[in-house]
Amino acid sequence: MPAEFDSFTSGNVETRRRRLLTEPPVVRTTLLTLGIGFLVLFIGLPLVTVFTEALRKGWDAYLSALHEPAAFAAIELTLTVAAISVPLNMVFGVIAAWCITKFEFRGKSFLITLIDLPFSVSPVISGLVFVLMFGLQGWFGHWLSDNNIKIIFATPGIVLATIFVTFPFVARELIPLMQQQGTEEEEAAVILGANGWQTFWRVTLPNIKWALLYGVLLCNARAMGEFGAVSVVSGHIRGKTNTMPLHTEILYNEYNFVAAFAVASLLALLALVTLVAKSILEWKLKQAHALHAKSIANAES
Amino acid sequence: MKSRFLTAGILSAALGLFAQAAAAQTEFLNVSYDPTRELYQQVNAAFTKQWEANGGRKLQINASHGGSGSQARSVIDGLEADVVTLALEYDVDAIAQKGLINKDWVKRLPDNSSPYTSTIVFLVRKGNPKAIKDWGDLVKPGVAIITPNPKTSGGARWNYLAAWGYALKQPGGNEQKAKDFVAALFKNVPVLDSGARGSTTTFVQRGLGDVLLSWENEAYLAIKELGPDKFEIVTPPLSILAEPSVAVVDKVVDKKKTRDIADAYLKFLYAPEGQEIAAKNYYRPRDAKVAEKYKDNFKKIELLTIDGDFGGWTAAQKKHFDDGGVFDQIYVAK
Amino acid sequence: MTFSLFKSNPGSRRSVIPGFGITLGLTITWLSLIVLIPLAGLFLKSATLSFDQIVAILTSPRTLSALRVSFGISLGAAAINAVFGVIVAWILVRYDFPFKRVADAFVDIPFALPTAVAGIALTSLYAPNGWIGSLLEPLGIKVAFTPLGILVALVFIGLPFVVRTVQPVIEDMDKELEEAATALGATRRQIIWRVILPVIFPSIATGFALAFARAVGEYGSVIFIAGNLPLVSEIAPLLIVIRLNEFAYAQATTIAAAMLVISFVLLFIINLLQRWSARYAR
């Protein structure tokens, strides 16, 4: 009897404790409704709209909208631009993150702020700066024109604007992680006789590979989807300098709404694939993290 | 490791694309404004056929469309257009001022270098529920007008000037009354898109507004593409003669050695075949014969002209649309 | 995506790790080529104007209104995101509900979805004949083509920033703290105000600032849904584009430079906030 009584009260205390650790059901429900409603309203519905508009006239219309030379050209250009700008920003991001996290120097936070700057610069400005430099009325305009080098209104300009816009993505992803990991492992490697390259390749890279991929993914999504900056430097030549987002706008302006949303849906699909890949990476990242922590704990004990 | 191979693969694919792009075709670029997409799609096909049939080089004609002002700016900034076909003289003048086009370009081709004309009409919802017949009906309370922004759209400048001209022509009309009239008109505008196409989409697709001020050709096209049963065109008794301008970009054709194509291309616009295509796309043709054939499409109305009634584009631009001009004033006054 | 960038590195002993010179050199070179020199060009271009002209441009009603619209509505959007972002982050960490993982992944959609696509989709939804617009129309609420439309677009693009900065902090938060407070007899409300909010507040502030910084410059999604009326719903980036199309380069660059300076200051504040939050967390 007493035992039973005991367990009864302790059970009661337990539920009381649990109740105090979370919100009353009313609040819970309200928060859930608000949060999920907000997500559905602001994110779910726009996404659904893209696909319903694209499929408004059925699958055949959808597929034939995509099976069109100008659409192919836009996809090709978008892939080309991403294939050039993403690897460059990946290499730079690793270098910058290495420099910032493995060494102490003056002006470091200023440097980080500068690396971050493109993130808060309006895309319109990002395009404009390259027009000012390489446009015919710009600093190098006449020289470029005389030597028949095309930058603005051609692929190089679009690549430049894209690199600018996606500049911080990889470094931004790596810096916090590498800071957290510290420098002990690299120091140990160097003391054991590894050179810089070996240290990076054998010690650092395995530790950061998932975060790096993650940064590259986001960088890629943004590179393929950039609109404002690219629009300023593109020249909008159908089938030549239109990236997928620009082609979407053009189709939209041609009253070809199904085709516009069809191209847009490809970009949305890309976003979804990115997110799935990202979720997998995040999971791997957590695992790697746990493993790392465990190995350190083992080493210390 | 895998990602390295992937990167290498993508890079080599990209290089392959570049190599491919350098094929042996003469590239030719027509930089035009928003509503001419369908027109030039047909013109380009017809011209390429004719050109190549006459033993010309193999031709790849590219087109770029956008707001007239922003297209002119792109050419100024180095977009290598062989010809420009823009919404108004002023935009071509802006390019000429930078030395890319000879200053005398207007005189080089017939009819002020304007192979087809258009005018400004009203597109209203079926049955014309707000009973809009003339410019005066636009300023009635409760009428929502859709027009693009005259600052960024060539078509919108024609809209604005037509309204201004209408007010001036009214009994007792003067500058102040004209200003009050356009101010009242723009008070009824709930959305200012940056280009003619944006406005049409807003009116037709989004269901906003009672009347769209539009190029005649654009209004016809909108009805054809988006619903003959939903809209109708109201042609006011007085409007403006809109003369879209065409010109060869001298600097570019000299560099690319494409002057022969550019000249032939613009001449083609004046030839019966080109005129016919223009008329089919609801542009008013210059050619008398073609005009006669399509006369049912184009109502005869009184048309103001930019040179006769507004002292030419430079004066009109300066007075109305420059920074601090009348258009800015009516907005600040609000 | 984590944004806790500016954590200070404890200790400043000399590193044995090689490669400082070359990595710093490469970083600065690449940074200069892609970011700094082009941006410097912007300032040089606006420096062709006299000081009085610059002041005149920046204080003209059009510019002031555009800046007010951009910064004001961005502030509002960031505030809405701060509230709903925290709610979303909270339910994602603390509660269980169906499709939670999907919801979690969806938070990142605005990062990945091209802004122009977002703009067109939002406009279709909120136009008077769209799914949501047609529901709001009878109530007399107009969203598309009004400043409210800009707000919707900016809330959309800013949402992930608050959620993704607050979420990890809630995840890391020690439940023991709450338990201790409970044991000491605190009510749930007291715990939320005295224990939870102070811990997550710095991250809310950071997320708010990031969402704000991103919203101020946004162009692609806004131009479709804003009415673009001068002095009412014209955003600063659009005004830059309009000035460009009027061939007024110096004017355009001056407004751009002003926005750039403001962005830089904002980022610096974010930087400080993050240092503060890092210190607070310790």
Q: What is the secondary structure of B210-244 as a DSSP string? A: SEEEEEHHHHHHHHHHH-TTTEEEE--SEEE-B--
What are the pLDDT digits (tens) for A100-151?
888 888 888 788 888 888 877 888 888 889 988 898 888 888 888 888 888 8
Coil/strand/helix, residue C235: coil
pLDDT at res. B233? 94
Residue range A268-294: average pLDDT? 77
Distance (Å) from the alpha carbon of C224 to chain B's nearest alpha carbon: 8
Chain B contact partners (≥3 CB pairs within 8 A):
A, C
Q: What is the pLDDT of residues B145-185, one digit of tens each?
A: 999 988 878 889 999 999 999 999 999 889 999 999 999 99
| 8 Å CB contact of A83 and B205 | no
Residue B18 clears pLDDT 90, i.e. is over it: no
| Per-residue model confidence (pLDDT) at position C7 | 36
Query: What is the arithmetic mean of pLDDT over A156-175?
Result: 90
Q: Give the up-direction half-sphere exposure of residue B171: CA atoms within 13 A in the CB hemisphere.
A: 0
| Contacts for C57-61: CB closer than 8 Å, 24+ residues apart | C57/C251, C57/C254, C57/C255, C58/C254, C58/C255, C58/C258, C61/B332, C61/C231
- Round to whole Å and give the CA distance between C119 and C228: 13
How far is A64 from A256, CA to CA, in rounded Å? Answer: 12
Q: Name B240's Cβ contacts closer than 8 Å, sequence gap at least 6.
A: B119, B120, B158, B161, B162, B165, B303, B304, B305, B306
Of the candidates B105, B31, B89, which has an alpha carbon nearest to the alpha carbon of residue B61? B31
The nearest CA of chain A is from the CA of B58 a distance in Å of 18
Check residue B330 and give its pLDDT. Answer: 86
pLDDT range class, residue C192, cuts 50, 70, 90: confident
Say which residues have a Cβ less than 8 Å from residue B228's Cβ, sequence separation at least 6: none
Structure confidence at residue B22 as a pLDDT band (50, 70, 90) = very low
pLDDT of residue C9 exceeding 50, the answer is: no
**pLDDT tier for residue B134 given thresholds of 50, 70 and 90:** very high
Q: What is the mean pLDDT of residues B176-196?
A: 90
Contact A103 C213 (CB under 8 A): no
| C-beta separation of C207 from C85 below 8 A | yes
> Which A residues 232-261 touch B at CB under 8 Å?
235-240, 250, 252-255, 257
The 10 Å Cβ neighbour count of residue B5 is 9
Phi and psi at residue C204, in whole multiples of 5°? -60, -45
Query: Which of A130, A159, A253 has the most B C-beta neighbours within 10 Å, making it the best mutation to test the interface with B?
Result: A253
Contact in structure between B84 and B92 (CB atoms under 8 Å): yes
Residues of C in contact with B191 (CB under 8 A): 145, 227-229
B33 and B244 Cβ atoms separated by less than 8 Å: yes
The per-residue pLDDT for B297 is 87
Percent of chain C with pLDDT over 90: 17
- C-alpha dihedral sign at C170, C175, C176, C178: positive
Interface test with A, best of B39, B60, B74 (most A CBs within 10 A): B74
Q: Residue A98, Cα to own-chain centre: how many angstroms?
A: 20
DSSP B118: B
The C-alpha of C127 sits at a distance from chain B's nearest C-alpha, in angstroms, of: 6
The pLDDT value recorded for residue B304 is 93
- H/E segment holding residue C19: none
Which pLDDT value is given to residue A157?
A: 93
Q: What kind and span of H or E run contains B171?
A: none
Q: What is the predicted pLDDT for the residue at B61?
A: 93
> Contact C247/B194, CB-based, under 8 Å?
no
Please write the tens of the pLDDT for every residue from C91-114: 998 888 888 888 888 888 887 787
Q: How high is the pLDDT of residue C154?
A: 95
Q: How far is A268 from chain B (nearest CA, A)?
A: 22
* A69 has pLDDT over 90: no
* CA nearest to A212 within chain B: B3
What is the per-residue pLDDT for B123? 95
What are the helix (H) ranges across chain A? 2-21, 25-39, 45-54, 58-66, 69-102, 108-120, 123-134, 141-146, 155-166, 169-181, 184-191, 196-198, 205-225, 228-234, 244-253, 257-300
**Per-residue pLDDT at A2:** 42
Q: Are strands B192-193 and B59-66 parallel, antiparallel or unpaired?
A: unpaired
Which SS3 state, helix, strand or coil, does residue B32 take? Answer: strand
Band (pLDDT 50/70/90 cuts) for residue A61 is: confident
Q: Do C245 and B67 touch (CB under 8 A)?
A: yes
> Which residues are within 8 A (CB) of B182 and not within 5 positions of it... i.e. 6 or more apart?
B160, B163, B164, B167, B326, B327, B330
Nearest-angstrom CA–CA distance, C113 and B52? 43
> pLDDT (tens digit, 9 = 90+) per residue, B267-322?
999 999 999 999 999 999 999 999 999 988 898 999 999 998 999 998 999 999 88
Chain B residue with CA closest to A201: the answer is: B1
**pLDDT confidence band for C12 (50 / 70 / 90):** very low
> Contact B3/A213, CB-based, under 8 Å?
yes
Question: What is the distance between the alpha carbons of residues A296 and A211, in angstroms, rounded to a whole number?
Answer: 19
**Chain A: partners with 3+ C-beta pairs within 8 Å:** B, C
**For chain B, what is the mean pLDDT?**
88
CA dihedral (A83, A84, A89, A91) positive or negative: positive
Provide ipTM, 2 decimals.
0.78
What pLDDT score does A20 carry? Answer: 57
Percentage, residues of chain A above pLDDT 70? 89
Task: Check whether B2 has a pLDDT greater than 70.
Answer: no
List, for residues C194-250, the tens digit of each pLDDT value.
888 888 887 888 788 888 888 988 888 898 888 778 788 889 998 888 888 777 888
| pLDDT given for residue B3 in this prediction | 47
Our CA-based measurement puts residue A241 at a distance from the nearest CA of chain C, in whole angstroms, of 17
Structural domains for chain C = 51-281 (1.10.3720.10)
Tell me the pTM.
0.83
Give the CA distances from residue B172 to residues A229, B132, B165, B258, C232, in Å, rounded to whole numbers and listed in that order: 50, 23, 13, 53, 33
CB burial class (10 A; 0-12, 13-18, 19+) of residue C226? Answer: buried
Q: Which of A83, A141, A239 sits opposite B78 (nearest CB)?
A: A141
| Among the listed residues A15, A16, A9, the one whose alpha carbon sits nearest the alpha carbon of residue A1 | A9
Using CA atoms, how far residue A132 sits from B68, B73, B295, C40, C161, in Å, is 20, 12, 48, 10, 31
Whether C82 contacts C215, CB under 8 Å: no
**pLDDT for residue C5 is more than 70:** no
pLDDT at A51 over 60: yes
Q: Which are the contacts of B202, defined by CB distance < 8 A and separation ≥ 6?
A: B146, B191, B193, B208, B209, C145
Give yes or no for a contact between B132 and B211, defined as CB atoms under 8 angstroms apart: yes
Higher-pLDDT residue of C242, A230: A230
The per-residue pLDDT for A159 is: 95
What percent of chain B stands above pLDDT 70? 92
**Contact C230/B192, CB-based, under 8 Å?**
yes
- Inform me whether the C-beta atom of residue A137 falls under 8 Å from chain B C-beta atoms: yes
Q: Which long-range contacts (CB under 8 A, 24 or more apart) does A175-181 make?
A: A175/A96, A175/A97, A175/A100, A175/A101, A175/A112, A175/C5, A176/C2, A176/C4, A176/C5, A176/C7, A177/A208, A177/A211, A178/A97, A178/A98, A178/A101, A178/A102, A178/A204, A178/A208, A179/A101, A179/C7, A179/C9, A181/A207, A181/A208, A181/A292
Element (H, E) at B64: strand B59-66
**Rounded Cα gap, residues C148 and B1, in angstroms:** 49
Question: To the nearest whole angstrom, how far is the Cα of B143 from the nearest Cα of chain C?
Answer: 16
What gap in Å lies between CA A276 and CA B233, rounded to an integer? 50
- Mean of the pLDDT values across residues B51-67? 89
Q: Do B34 and A236 lie within an 8 Å CB cutoff?
A: no
Q: For chain A, how far is it from start to end, CA to CA, in angstroms?
A: 47
Mean pLDDT of all residues belonging to chain C: 82
Q: What tens digit of pLDDT does each residue of A72-114 get? A: 999 999 999 999 999 999 999 999 999 988 888 888 878 888 8
